[in-house]
Amino acid sequence: MQLQQLAYFVEVAHPLHFTRAAENMGVSQPTLSKQIRVLENSVGTRLFSRHSSGIALTSAGEALLPHAQRMLINADSALRSVGEVAELKRGRVRLGATPSTLDGLLPPILMEFHQRHPGVEFEIHESGSRVLSEELHIGNIDIALLIVPVTTDDPSIETTVVYRERLLLASPASSDLPEEIDVTSLADLPLVMFREGYDLRDVTLRACATAGFEPRFSVEGGEMGSVLRLVEAGLGHAVVPDIALRNRHSLRTSLIVSPPLERHIAVAHREPAALPLSVQAFRSMLLERLAAPQD
């Protein structure tokens, strides 16, 4: 049983006229009659009864007709859905992002992509790079902006570095720290520290250990937003990415220069050809917008 045969059957069933149905379908009457016979052989019974005054549906034909109509409608809907996805009228992108990239890099790109493809939905997973690496590995997300190197041994995950993230010291507006400082300067400052497992916490602690001291925490355990709000409230200082401070004009910043602290942000995903079309399109836009050379 083929969809085309069902289409012929439905067309004949409505006018109950082979010649008219053949004209509507753009085929010859012998071709149409042959396909109806093939369909009848397939289902094992006659679908039309033929008599001197014309044709009529048999009981089997009456039983098949509503099912055939639904099958044709479903097939047409399926083809439209595939076409819409292929044209990016529909789709879904499961995007993972670190808090700083979600706040500082992604909003204008997401807005531009939405304007181009308003039917594509986004599912955002905000977390640290270690968690995002694992979510990529187990297939919970399609693509991510995260810090490299990734913390998974999965060889199918590909990364492309798109941004060099400079780390700055964020201080309350009343701070009198200079515009450039050494890592050793952090030894004398109360720090607002991120929670355990947060990438920036690890970076900060490693830098302090390399400089030969253990930092002092005034507050510990926050996420990016809460850490910055606590710094604004005057509870201490925090080492944060430059992109996290783009919209935080109430904070004073100092560039850490000796040694300079930086991280590399990458677009991470599996083999591009295996990604859904909507994800492939978003990946291309990410690379175009973020991979420009930086000073």
Averaged pLDDT for residues 122-142: 91
pLDDT at 295: 47
- A 10 A CB-CB count for 190 gives 14
Map out the domains of the chain with their CATH numbers: 3-86 (1.10.10.10), 91-162+264-290 (3.40.190.10), 164-263 (3.40.190.290)
Averaged pLDDT for residues 285-292: 85
182: pLDDT strictly greater than 90: yes
The two structure tokens encoding residue 158: 């590909």
293: pLDDT strictly greater than 60: no
The residues pairing with 190 across neighbouring beta strands, listed in sequence order, are: 216
pLDDT tier at 152 (50, 70, 90 boundaries)?
A: confident
- A 10 A CB-CB count for 27 gives 17
276: pLDDT strictly greater than 90: no
Q: Give the pLDDT confidence of 36-46 residue by residue, as tens digits.
A: 999 999 899 99
The per-residue b/e assignment along 239-269, b for 16 or more CB within 10 angstroms, e otherwise, is: bbbbbbbeebeebbbbebeeeebebebbbbb
Three-class secondary structure of residue 181 per DSSP: strand
